[in-house]
Structure 1
């Protein structure tokens, strides 16, 4: 009997140790081993994070499955930790690597591969005109073509046309692969559909990211059905097949003395470094760089512009004021980057849309590679850091009347636009901030000025426009598909 009692006591002690949150960790939700803390609530993720923020402050944790998630609501703390070399890695998640092992490209890689691929991509994009005047003409062409397509639906309530996605995608693809899509291109439409399916399936895909042991204990067909693993693999194969064909076309017509685009430059450098042992370049790595540029360089800008149309349709006074500035300063001439200083209110509108929309609501996650100290707490190796951007963008510590759409907050007392705002991180911060930020800013400015020189947008008669985000995609802020009414300006 005493043996049984002793075993029971040992078992209870072991269970208590397993259930107990280690000392020194941030406050928050700990839960059970393997499954973490599963809340029984109807609140969505952001509402729960706000509750935890009010309860615990700027740093708290939530163990989700096997992942120790540390959420951050302090801008300066985020800026500091995201610049530290021990906090630069991405988690080994399907969401990032789409089941490619080891991860390739820029978005999901770490260490030397990430450093080399990012440095190469950034250098090439800058050389090809990212954020510079020499690319403005190409953006003008796509913006004018978009206006032409939008005019076709003027006067008729309809969703924002597919031409917006084509125009934005063509800007990045002119730089990357010297190619242009037509609005009727079935391949581009197919890609957007499969990418949308991937985003719609994220809630199920994250089961494997947070509970990888599911794949060990359940049969493959059940894992596939439960976790949408087939969507991940189909997404990857579709993308790989397409971009591999593009690379092969460039390879067949490559002129090593006259590189046309990023693909050509990579192929040339790959040949030059083929004998390197430590950091050789690979064609499949190039394919995944292209996947990253396609997804990050087009879909986010498209969604931001959709939000901009919705906010201006819902706030006609702001739209009228912005158009008056554009008309007065540009006199019908297309804007260039040098015109930004003369269009402070237009810049303010764009930045207010970036703040209000907060596409990456909980940021892009980082993983710490060793035990660190942060905010007075111990953060163990392998923990995931998440900057809650949407919360910071609506935090009264940083913004007066944070839930109001108020472009005037970006204008100083002298009437000048001021972009240096603490608490503003739509492109993240630190060494892994958005690779294409300069391109996105350029596109948002030129597309906005070009469209609203020629068109106005409003809610359809008898209806309203909702500039909020789609609740079916809890991890990101995606615009709601809805009808708007474009009219041609006289």
Structure 2
């Protein structure tokens, strides 16, 4: 009898130990071993996170599966964390490596592969495009093409045409591969469809990322079915087949003294470092780098422009002020980057749309590479760090009347554009800040101005336009696809 009592007591102690949240961690949800805290509610995850923010403050933890998730709602904490080397890495998640280890490319890689690719990509984007007249002309041309396609649906309710996706994809192609899609090219729709397939299946990946032990206890065939590995393989296969064709063409026509684009630059780098044991440049890595550049740079810019069009249709008084500024400053000429400083209201509208839309509402995941501390709390090695950008963008500590769409908040008393750094991070912050920020800002400015030079946007007759994010998406902010009315101004 005594033995049974002792064993029961030991068992209770072990259970208590397993269930107890270790000392020093941020407050929040802990739950059970292996499965973490599973809420019995149908509320959106983002809504639950806001409730946790109100209850626990700016830093809290939620153990999801086996993963310790730490959420940061204070801009200063985010800035501190994401500039520290122990938080610069990405989790070893399927979401990033998609069956390729070590993770390649630039979006999800870490350590030497990330450092080399980021350094190379920033140099190439600077040398081949960002700020260069050649790329400005390419963005202008794509914006004009978009306007011509939008004019075809003038006077009737219709969604923003597929030409928007083609325009943004073509700008990226100009920089990385000197390629160009026509609007009617079936390949352009296939290209966009593949990217949407990848994004639509991301929510399945989280299952194996939060519960990695299921890959040890379930047959591979079942795990593959859970994450729809067939779709992943199809998307990767089609993209890589097309990229490989472009790379082979570049290799055959390469002039080392006159690199045309990023692919040329990568092939030269790969050749020069062929005998360098520390080199991470390979053709497979280039394939993943190209996939990352399109994944990170195409859909986000499209969605930002969609939000901008919807906000302008929703707020005709804001659109009228933009029309007035554009007409007075440009007088019919196409915009260049030199015009930005002369168009403060247009800049204010773009920044307010970035704040209100907050596309990356919870940022891209970082991981703690070692045991450390932040904001007075212990952060164990392997903890996943989230920047709650949407929450910060609506925090009254940084923004007055934060729920209101108000471009004037970006102007000083003399009507000049006054960029606000504190509390504004649409492209994240720190060592992994979006490397395509300069390109995205260029596209948002030039495309929006060219569109408004020629067009007015309005809700369909008897209806409204909703610039809110899609409530059916559990994480992240995506625009609700809807009709707008286009009127030709000139």
Encode CA deviations 1:232-253: one digit per residue, 9 max, x unaligned. Answer: 3333222222212221121122
Tell whether the 8 Å contact from 2:427 to 2:434 is kept in structure 1 after alignment: yes
Determine the structure 1 residue equivalent to 2:474.
474
Q: Secondary structure at the match of 1:22?
A: coil
User: Deviation at 1:95?
Assistant: 1.5
Determine the structure 1 residue equivalent to 2:26.
26
* Structure 1 residues 45 and 110: CA distance shift in structure 2, 3 A: same
CA distance in 2: counterparts of 1:194 and 1:179, whole angstroms: 18
Determine the structure 2 residue equivalent to 1:391.
391
After TM superposition, the structure 1 stretch with the greater mean CA deviation from structure 2, 250-259 or 353-362, is: 250-259
Alignment of 1:31-430 (within 5 A): 31-430=31-430
User: Deviation at 1:213?
Assistant: 1.1
Q: Give the CA RMSD over aligned residues.
A: 1.2
Tell whether the 8 Å contact from 1:107 to 1:292 is kept in structure 2 after alignment: yes
Tell whether the 8 Å contact from 1:363 to 1:386 is kept in structure 2 after alignment: yes
CA distance in 1: counterparts of 2:326 and 2:108, whole angstroms: 40
Q: Secondary structure at the match of 1:63?
A: strand
Tell whether the 8 Å contact from 1:372 to 1:381 is kept in structure 2 after alignment: yes
* Structure 1 residues 248 and 134: CA distance shift in structure 2, 3 A: closer
User: Deviation at 1:133?
Assistant: 4.1
Tell whether the 8 Å contact from 1:199 to 1:473 is kept in structure 2 after alignment: no
Q: Which runs of 5+ in 1 are unaligned?
A: none
Tell whether the 8 Å contact from 1:224 to 1:230 is kept in structure 2 after alignment: yes
* Structure 1 residues 26 and 209: CA distance shift in structure 2, 3 A: same
User: Deviation at 1:221?
Assistant: 3.0
Tell whether the 8 Å contact from 1:94 to 1:232 is kept in structure 2 after alignment: no
Tell whether the 8 Å contact from 1:133 to 1:337 is kept in structure 2 after alignment: no
After TM superposition, the structure 1 stretch with the greater mean CA deviation from structure 2, 196-205 or 410-419, is: 196-205
Q: Which runs of 5+ in 2 are unaligned?
A: none
Determine the structure 2 residue equivalent to 1:465.
465
After TM superposition, the structure 1 stretch with the greater mean CA deviation from structure 2, 192-201 or 155-164, is: 192-201
User: Deviation at 1:472?
Assistant: 2.8
User: Deviation at 1:185?
Assistant: 2.2
Large movers: runs of 4+ above 4 Å: none
Tell whether the 8 Å contact from 1:98 to 1:236 is kept in structure 2 after alignment: no
Tell whether the 8 Å contact from 1:360 to 1:426 is kept in structure 2 after alignment: yes
Q: Secondary structure at the match of 2:482?
A: coil
User: Deviation at 1:446?
Assistant: 0.4
Encode CA deviations 1:52-87: one digit per residue, 9 max, x unaligned. Answer: 111111100000111100000110111111011111
Tell whether the 8 Å contact from 1:99 to 1:233 is kept in structure 2 after alignment: no
Query: 2:11 aligned with 1:11, yes or no?
Result: yes
Q: Secondary structure at the match of 1:464?
A: coil
Alignment of 1:423-442 (within 5 A): 423-442=423-442
Tell whether the 8 Å contact from 2:173 to 2:180 is kept in structure 1 after alignment: yes
User: Deviation at 1:187?
Assistant: 2.4
Encode CA deviations 1:375-412: one digit per residue, 9 max, x unaligned. Answer: 11000000011000011111111111111111011011
User: Deviation at 1:188?
Assistant: 2.6
Q: Secondary structure at the match of 2:25?
A: coil
Tell whether the 8 Å contact from 1:200 to 1:473 is kept in structure 2 after alignment: no
Aligned length: 490
CA distance in 2: counterparts of 1:229 and 1:7, whole angstroms: 45
TM-score, normalisation: structure 1: 0.98
Tell whether the 8 Å contact from 1:181 to 1:188 is kept in structure 2 after alignment: yes
Tell whether the 8 Å contact from 2:112 to 2:280 is kept in structure 1 after alignment: no
Q: Secondary structure at the match of 2:385?
A: strand
* Structure 1 residues 280 and 26: CA distance shift in structure 2, 3 A: closer
CA distance in 1: counterparts of 2:245 and 2:2, whole angstroms: 72
Tell whether the 8 Å contact from 1:411 to 1:417 is kept in structure 2 after alignment: yes
Tell whether the 8 Å contact from 1:70 to 1:386 is kept in structure 2 after alignment: yes
Query: 2:485 aligned with 1:485, yes or no?
Result: yes
* Structure 1 residues 202 and 280: CA distance shift in structure 2, 3 A: closer
* Structure 1 residues 18 and 454: CA distance shift in structure 2, 3 A: same
CA distance in 2: counterparts of 1:478 and 1:122, whole angstroms: 27
CA distance in 2: counterparts of 1:14 and 1:237, whole angstroms: 48
CA distance in 2: counterparts of 1:470 and 1:244, whole angstroms: 35
Determine the structure 2 residue equivalent to 1:455.
455
CA distance in 2: counterparts of 1:26 and 1:168, whole angstroms: 41
